[in-house]
Structure 1
Amino acid sequence: MNEPRDTRIKRLRMRSMRRGIKEMDLILSAYADATLDGMSDSDLDTYDSLLQENDQDLYQWVTGQDTPPESLAPLIHEISQTFQK
């Protein structure tokens, strides 16, 4: 997919705020608003793959109730730090 960067960021923002679990809507939309514009393309790829994950799993990872997959651990840590502020 050869999606323009601004279109991709808009799509990721929308997917961040329409998760299904209200807590994840709030956490991810706040994170997306604060960080997506400054992310590299590689970081956007990682965030896009994170959005493919199940909300229940994401919530447990972000809140420290379960260990995230190694590939997503740095991003989950960053999101959880943002969430805790």
Structure 2
Amino acid sequence: MDAEHDAHAVRLRRLKFRAWHRGMREMDLIFGRFADARLPELDEADLAVFEALLDEQDKDIFSWYCGEVPIPPHYDTPFFTKLRAFPVHQM
């Protein structure tokens, strides 16, 4: 294994941990299940958006996810569409 592959593997493990260890159980389930199923197939742009989302407040993300408030333009991306379309309840 080379250093770049190792760094990518560490990044994915860190993102998966952060996805499952939020502050709000609903977001644990949404992010955690999505990360378990889709994280390895995300490209660099999607990983960057996911990382940025993990820094946001759970209540804000949940409101965007549920459509209670508009998604901020910088998060209204193809990645967020993938996240919202992911069948969390079927896992």
Structure 1 gap segments, 5+ residues each = none
Write the distance in 2 (CA, Å) between the matches of 1:6 and 1:48. Answer: 14
Partner of 1:78: 82
Offset at residue 84 of structure 1 (A):
6.4
Query: How large is the Cα RMSD of the aligned pairs?
Result: 1.8
Offset at residue 71 of structure 1 (A):
1.7
How many pairs does the alignment contain? 84
Normalized against structure 1, the TM-score is what?
A: 0.88
For residue 52 of structure 1, what is the amino acid of its counterpart? D
Offset at residue 77 of structure 1 (A):
2.2
Contact 1:19 1:55 in 2 (8 A): yes
Structure of greater Rg: 2
Are residues 70 and 84 of structure 1, via their aligned partners in 2, closer, same or farther at CA, if it must alter by over 3 Å? farther
Percentage of matched positions with identical amino acids: 30
Normalized against structure 2, the TM-score is what?
A: 0.82
Offset at residue 42 of structure 1 (A):
2.1
